[in-house]
Amino acid sequence: MISVSVFKEPLVKALAISLLLHGVLFGVLNNYNVRKPVSAAQEFKSVQIEFRNVISHLVESGGPSIQELPVVEETPEPVAVEPVVVEPVVDAPLVSESESPIVDDVSQVAPQVVSQVEEGTPGLESVLTDSERNAASPISPVSQPGDEYSDLESMSLSNIRIPAPVYPARAKQMGWEGDVQIHFTVNSKGRPDVIEINQSSGYEVLDQAVLDTVKKRWRFSKENAGLKLKKTFSFRLI
């Protein structure tokens, strides 16, 4: 901050000069009123002389001096510079041709997969459904267990119900014929049990018709419990 004392002395001198000039002018005007009037040129000349005397006095005394203010230079603060870390560049390892992964020849595997798919794909020439193919496929006959089963037709049993199976309509349409022989045992409730096909007709639909009829509709007397019987059914188109 600038001190007030720097401008104090010049201001005092300037104020003194101003008061001195006002006093001179006041005296001149006062004399002008008391004395005889003089011409304007003479009055101006007298004021000019007085003013010159004041100026010369100020010049001889050196006049008000203005002290120069000290110049303060700002010193820049040092800025901290962070060191730059340069990471070394590492070249990627070169992979030689001998280290490259070996891939099996795909051409050796592809034919095997295609051949397996072709073998497992069903032919398009077949028109029959799954049930028709099963019905038309021959069924291997069960091995005969000997003569332990008695022929039902040669026995005289009372209180029995043995209706004949119905000829399947599908078999009639396809013209399927055949003979079916079954073995079974009469249980304690008079029902056929452990029913087996001893001789197949060659068509599942005919064999299944016999099994369903014997199992669901045949009934025997409880006195016949334990009997082992056999029965042959013939399917013929008239």
Q: Is 167 inside a domain boundary? A: yes
Which residues lie below 8 Å from residue 97, measured CB to CB, with a gap of 6+?
none
CATH of the domain at 171: 3.30.2420.10
Give the residue from 20, 41, 61 where a domain finishes: 61
Per-residue pLDDT of the chain (238 residues; tens, 9 = 90+): 445 455 556 676 777 787 788 777 777 676 655 455 556 666 666 666 776 776 676 656 655 554 555 555 666 666 666 666 666 565 555 555 444 444 444 444 444 433 343 443 344 333 344 444 444 444 444 444 456 899 999 989 999 999 999 999 999 999 999 999 999 999 999 999 999 999 999 999 999 999 999 999 999 999 999 999 999 999 999 8
Give this prediction's pTM. Answer: 0.41
Measured from the Cβ of residue 149, the count of other Cβ atoms closer than 10 Å reads 20
Domain carrying residue 30: 5-61
Give the residue from 61, 88, 105 where a domain finishes: 61
Q: Is 97 inside a domain boundary? A: no
Q: Is 109 inside a domain boundary? A: no
Q: Is 102 inside a domain boundary? A: no
Could you tell me if 52 and 144 lie in one domain?
Answer: no
Give the residue from 41, 61, 81 where a domain finishes: 61
Q: Is 143 inside a domain boundary? A: yes
Q: Is 161 inside a domain boundary? A: yes
**Counted domains in the chain:** 2
